[in-house]
Structure 1
Amino acid sequence: MANYVLTTFCVCLHLSFVLSAIVPVSNSSASLDPVLSESCQILGQRFPNQLHWPGTEQYTNENSLYWSKTTLVTPYCIFTPENANHVSAAVIELHRTQTQFAVRSGGHMPVKGAAGTNQGVLIAMTRMNSTALSTDGGIASIGPGLRWGDVYNWLSTEDRVVVGGRYAPVGVSGVLLGGGMSHFSATHGWAANNVVNFELVLANGTIASANATANSDLFWALKGSSSNHGIVVRFDLRTYPASPMYAGTISYEESQVQQFLHAFQNWLSPGGGIRDEATAIVPALFIYPEERSVQANIVVLQNNYTLNQTVPKSLQGFVNISSASNTAHVRTYPDFLTETTQYGNRSNRNTFYATSLLATADAVRLINETIPPIALSMLEGVQNSFVGLSMQPVTKSHLQAARDAGGDALDLDPNDGDFIAFNLVVEYTNEQDDATVISFNTAALQALDTASKAANIYYPFQFLNDAGAGEQVFSLYGKGKSLERMKSIRRAYDPDGVFQDLMPGGFKIGV
């Protein structure tokens, strides 16, 4: 691999020299940093339709495409490439001038700087939204600018589906590079395990492939390492036959919360629905501090539905509870995902934090007993505050499928048993409440981890797609064994640390 990078680097240096020889054009932002001005000017000279300055309509539109207002930043300029060559040219120029940059796919991660920058250039992948299906229908090639709703709707016309994100408005890249939890994970592993090839731009501008036979070390690392090894410009994913499924969302008022929790505990127990690999659930508690109320919600899906069933057995415990609303019925997957469009609401501030617990009845009890009282106490004065406690089961079959597919950087052991990937979500309105929300997140996670460790049910894993600022997700991969390998691979493909130093936002593996 090292020889491959070295042999192409001379080409990249030559292109960098050509770019640097271009005379910068004038613009209205001449008072800004001259190095940054040079980078944007050169890219703008070569790609005038892809480079956008503050004050233009294109800049304003692109800079609004973040899910959470906590992530709004002001890049020096925004570059919207249309193909891999554009991305390569940008990386070469940014490397040459040592200009900081960020890359945004869907912009759904509510961590400031993960997909934006106040210090340099934003590479927005909006225009890289191509789709292609192999002749036999087995491989879907998708661009990083797509959102999952787009992908599923396109594939539905071919009666195919992929193992991807669970929410229609979420971007493709963040899900797949963070691991990706899917409604089909119990059978097929993490979404990343279903990528058969990554096409990406390396730190020296080389456009490379990473798969089971070419750059296989990089292929392993990309499955869970986020943006630490390159900029992915195309994902090739296995497809599977699409079929009708029983799916929907069930909501419960406060008076039904205890019944809901009991049903979830039964679902996790021996003989419960957790052993049905065709079933996926996303149980959650919803806390409204201003109203001092706690409600519940569960997404249910069973993709092995047969017409002689009214309700799949694995889901009867939830369906049988008197509910405030229930949309579950037989439908297509894209139709079901229309219910998730609410996750595209960009009018609020949001935070994520993650931890994990072994999937036991005690875990459900601890979550319910620990966090709601803290939320009701600390967030009562936070305007329009909402707290979601998402309790996502990750099963032994999910982790075994991940290993059977070739493994990944997360490298979780199926022999450790089922666990709950817990996501703490806070939504609110006002920037002045940021400090209070951060204090709550810290107190809530510390309390839950302390309680789970005391009960001997703590599981050492933080799911990157749900993680928050400052969480050290990579140190927990493979029980601490993956990180050094990830760093070694990073040094081989990015010896200058371009994706560590010049692209500092998000979760970094370090030197």
Structure 2
Amino acid sequence: MLHSHAALLLAALSLPHKVQGFASRIMDVPGLSDRLSSRAIVYSDFDNSEAIGALVTSRFFTATSAVQLPTIVVIPAVVEDVQACVRHAYDHDLDFGVLGGGHGVAGLGHTNGLLIDMTALTEVHVDTAAGITTYQTGNTIGSLDLASKDSRVYSPNGNCPQVGAGAVLHGGYGSMIKTRGLAIDNIVSYQLVTYDSKLHTVTNESESELFWGLRGAASMLGVVTKISVRHFKVDDHYGGSIVFTNVSALPRLVAWINDKGLSATNEFHVRFSVFSAPPPASVAMEVTLWGDGSAF
């Protein structure tokens, strides 16, 4: 059972500031509340679209044209809360979406029904003996890297620390791509809640067809709550970025990298980003160098 409304309100105060203050009430949802853990947070029965719109737009970073307004928002505290949400949606023929980092350009997390906000599910376990890092999908790429740094290991994921770690479900282009491939190439297991609210641990050995499908189409097959991925020992590495305020610099930068033979060097990773706003248009060059530089 959920705590009283007063206890829920106190729990909500511990959430990130951007989530606070938008719900007009924190209250029970018949048929759902009694299935949730005592630490789950439920926002429901909003008095007006402006309040819920503020909540949703503060958490999604995609185009506002894709934003839909859910009628219920749940922040699960444990995996069983996710199962309860999926069961509730299934039982009531209710559309639902899943929110991780909020950067999905396809807008797959948007819904006018039940929104499951994963941001409280942030456990990370680094098993250096097995060479595996296991993390819940409420993490960001940045929080995953911070949790791994003391062990001096790196899990292939992505480039942007603010993006949800669940982004690896659709690829995961990162700075180790030359030597370790995409993040998705290194996933060894998924914890998945399917449409019938059952919890699966999916590996290539246990459920090979489902494992194959999850490698790229995970958003269509259920709610991934945990990922186990191979990690790699990291010694020296360096990184930085330079911003050029003239986009005409891009062809010259690419030519310089190719002329120096850097593009053929596995230890060297570069990513270019072109920004049109705010003006003037600019180019950012982000560089990561793995190793002590002896490759150069």
Supply the AA of the counterpart residue of 1:232: V
Q: Does 1:305 align with 2:292?
A: yes
Q: Which of 59, 62, 70 matches 1:75?
A: 70
Q: Which of 69, 90, 97 matches 2:92?
A: 97
Separation in 1 of the partners of 2:82 and 2:132?
A: 24
Q: Which of 225, 243, 247 matches 1:251?
A: 243
Q: Indicate the SS of the match to 2:189.
A: strand
What is residue 422 of structure 1 aligned with on the other side? none
Separation in 1 of the partners of 2:187 and 2:146?
A: 19
Task: Indicate if the aligned counterparts of 1:178 and 1:226 stay in contact, CA closer than 8 A.
Answer: yes
Post-superposition shift, 1:298? 0.6
Task: Indicate if the aligned counterparts of 1:54 and 1:60 stay in contact, CA closer than 8 A.
Answer: no
Identify the range of structure 1 (63-72 vs 192-201) with the bigger mean alpha-carbon deviation: 63-72
> Residues 51 and 258 (structure 1 numbering): CA distance in 2 closer, same or farther, change over 3 Å?
closer
What is residue 232 of structure 1 aligned with on the other side? 224
Q: Give ranges in structure 2 of 5+ residues lacking alignment.
A: 1-27
Post-superposition shift, 1:243? 2.2
Q: Which of 156, 159, 171 matches 1:166?
A: 159
Q: Indicate the SS of the match to 2:73.
A: strand
Post-superposition shift, 1:148? 0.9
What is residue 168 of structure 2 aligned with on the other side? 176
RMSD over aligned CA atoms reads: 2.7
> Residues 276 and 206 (structure 1 numbering): CA distance in 2 closer, same or farther, change over 3 Å?
same
Supply the AA of the counterpart residue of 1:85: E
Matches within 5 A, 1:106-505: 106-112=101-107, 114-118=108-112, 120-134=113-127, 136=129, 138-173=131-166, 175-254=167-246, 257-268=247-258, 272-288=261-277, 291=279, 293-306=280-293, 313=296
Separation in 2 of the partners of 1:239 and 1:51?
A: 35
Q: Indicate the SS of the match to 1:224.
A: helix
Separation in 1 of the partners of 2:253 and 2:61?
A: 32
> Residues 60 and 253 (structure 1 numbering): CA distance in 2 closer, same or farther, change over 3 Å?
closer
Q: Which has the higher contact order (CA 8 A, sep 6+)?
A: 1
> Residues 208 and 302 (structure 1 numbering): CA distance in 2 closer, same or farther, change over 3 Å?
same
Task: Indicate if the aligned counterparts of 2:267 and 2:289 stay in contact, CA closer than 8 A.
Answer: yes
TM norm structure 2: 0.79
> Residues 297 and 211 (structure 1 numbering): CA distance in 2 closer, same or farther, change over 3 Å?
same
Post-superposition shift, 1:169? 0.8
In the TM superposition, what whole-angstrom CA distance separates every residue of 1:57-88 from its partner, at most 9, and x where no partner exists?
x9788632222461543211112222232222
Post-superposition shift, 1:151? 0.7
Q: Which of 67, 81, 86 matches 1:86?
A: 81
What is residue 44 of structure 2 aligned with on the other side? 53
> Residues 81 and 261 (structure 1 numbering): CA distance in 2 closer, same or farther, change over 3 Å?
same
Post-superposition shift, 1:217? 1.4
What is residue 43 of structure 1 aligned with on the other side? 32
> Residues 280 and 53 (structure 1 numbering): CA distance in 2 closer, same or farther, change over 3 Å?
same
Post-superposition shift, 1:137? 5.6
What is residue 17 of structure 2 aligned with on the other side? none
Post-superposition shift, 1:246? 2.5
Separation in 2 of the partners of 1:157 and 1:62?
A: 35
Post-superposition shift, 1:46? 2.8
Post-superposition shift, 1:212? 2.0
Separation in 2 of the partners of 1:124 and 1:287?
A: 31
Q: Indicate the SS of the match to 1:187.
A: helix
Task: Indicate if the aligned counterparts of 1:53 and 1:59 stay in contact, CA closer than 8 A.
Answer: no
Supply the AA of the counterpart residue of 1:210: V
What is residue 17 of structure 1 aligned with on the other side? none
Q: Indicate the SS of the match to 2:98.
A: strand
Task: Indicate if the aligned counterparts of 1:43 and 1:51 stay in contact, CA closer than 8 A.
Answer: no
TM norm structure 1: 0.47
Post-superposition shift, 1:295? 3.0
Post-superposition shift, 1:176? 1.3
Identity fraction in percent: 21
Supply the AA of the counterpart residue of 1:96: D
Q: Which of 60, 69, 73 matches 1:66?
A: 60
Q: Indicate the SS of the match to 1:227.
A: helix
| Structure (1 or 2) with the larger CA radius of gyration | 1
Supply the AA of the counterpart residue of 2:255: Q
> Residues 96 and 212 (structure 1 numbering): CA distance in 2 closer, same or farther, change over 3 Å?
same
Q: Indicate the SS of the match to 1:177.
A: helix
> Residues 273 and 80 (structure 1 numbering): CA distance in 2 closer, same or farther, change over 3 Å?
same
* Aligned residue pairs, count: 262
Supply the AA of the counterpart residue of 1:214: S
Supply the AA of the counterpart residue of 1:158: S
Separation in 1 of the partners of 2:55 and 2:179?
A: 37
Task: Indicate if the aligned counterparts of 2:132 and 2:228 stay in contact, CA closer than 8 A.
Answer: yes
Q: Indicate the SS of the match to 1:153.
A: helix
Separation in 2 of the partners of 1:134 and 1:116?
A: 34
Q: Indicate the SS of the match to 2:147.
A: helix
Q: Indicate the SS of the match to 2:210.
A: helix
> Residues 215 and 182 (structure 1 numbering): CA distance in 2 closer, same or farther, change over 3 Å?
same
Supply the AA of the counterpart residue of 1:128: L
Separation in 1 of the partners of 2:124 and 2:82?
A: 18
Supply the AA of the counterpart residue of 1:296: V
Q: Indicate the SS of the match to 2:211.
A: helix
Separation in 2 of the partners of 1:210 and 1:299?
A: 35
Q: 1 or 2, which has the higher helix percentage? A: 1
